[in-house]
């Protein structure tokens, strides 16, 4: 029987929800790994809505669960219903929705608050010693909830212009966590906390390299599960 994995989404679309390529990559690698996946998202209003064609705010309101259902092909549940006891691992793809809807990092940085259901989900898996996978900006969730943990968001310097958000690594360190520098096709395993992270689109890289990096994260999560 395959490992049972919960995938937590934050909407649909890089600028106000989950990064679609990252969510899809995680699902493909989980499928290849024989995992049984169920998808969840919080039933809350998005912090904002972005016109992805223009890159500008749109004057409308959208619901994170409803928007995430687009990526889940309609097969999705409210995050409030997720029971860690029914799963072997949990994975969070990235996207600005993580920093806007799952927490307030986009506005408050390291002083952010984390959505109550996101926080309780992370704590439940951690307490049960079950692995947590995070990519792109999602590792800040672990940094906020688990002081002292080890994560990666890529590099701590903007190497060759490929890591424009390198200052995130410094903010993670200021939270008392250890940032581990990794390339886009790599992931880092915090064996003590069973937290696996990869930088994904925090690096300006070809899509296949991001896909491969997410693959290493998924493989390590399944090994730990």
Which residues are within 8 A (CB) of 153 and not within 5 positions of it... i.e. 6 or more apart? 136, 137, 139, 140, 165, 168, 169, 172, 179, 197, 199, 202
Pairing outcome for strands 56-57 and 132-135: unpaired
State yes or no: is 136 an active-site residue.
Answer: yes
Do the beta carbons of residue 142 and residue 90 sit within 8 Å?
Answer: no
Instruction: Find the catalytic residue in 103, 136, 177, 199.
Output: 136
**Buried b / exposed e across 56-69, counting CB within 10 Å, b at 16+?**
eeeeeebbbbebbb
Rama region for 26: left / alpha / beta (φ>0; ψ in -120 to 50; rest): alpha
- Residue found by looking up tokens 């998005």 in the block: 46
207-224 helix and 20-32 helix, angle to the nearest 10 degrees: 50
What amino acid positions are annotated as catalytic residues?
A: 136
């Amino acid at each position: 029987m395959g490992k049972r994995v919960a995938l937590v989404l934050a909407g649909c679309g890089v600028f106000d929800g989950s990064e679609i390529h990252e969510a899809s990559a995680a699902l493909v690698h989980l499928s290849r790994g024989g995992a049984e996946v169920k998808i969840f998202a919080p039933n809350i209003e998005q912090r904002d809505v972005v016109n992805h064609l223009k890159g500008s705010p749109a004057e409308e309101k959208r619901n994170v669960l409803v928007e995430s259902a687009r990526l889940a092909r309609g097969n999705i549940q409210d995050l409030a219903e997720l029971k860690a006891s029914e799963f072997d691992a949990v994975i969070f793809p990235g996207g600005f929705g993580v920093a806007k809807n799952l927490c307030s990092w986009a506005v408050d940085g390291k002083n952010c608050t984390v959505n109550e259901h996101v926080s309780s989900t992370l704590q439940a898996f951690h307490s049960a010693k079950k692995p947590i996978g995070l990519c792109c900006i999602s590792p800040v969730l672990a940094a906020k909830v688990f002081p002292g943990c080890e994560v990666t968001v890529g590099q701590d310097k903007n190497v060759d212009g490929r890591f424009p958000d390198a200052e995130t690594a410094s903010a993670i360190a200021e939270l008392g966590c250890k940032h581990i520098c990794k390339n886009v096709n790599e992931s880092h395993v915090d064996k003590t906390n069973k937290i696996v992270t990869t930088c994904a689109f925090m690096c300006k890289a070809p899509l296949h390299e991001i896909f491969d990096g997410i693959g290493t994260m998924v493989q390590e999560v399944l090994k730990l599960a």
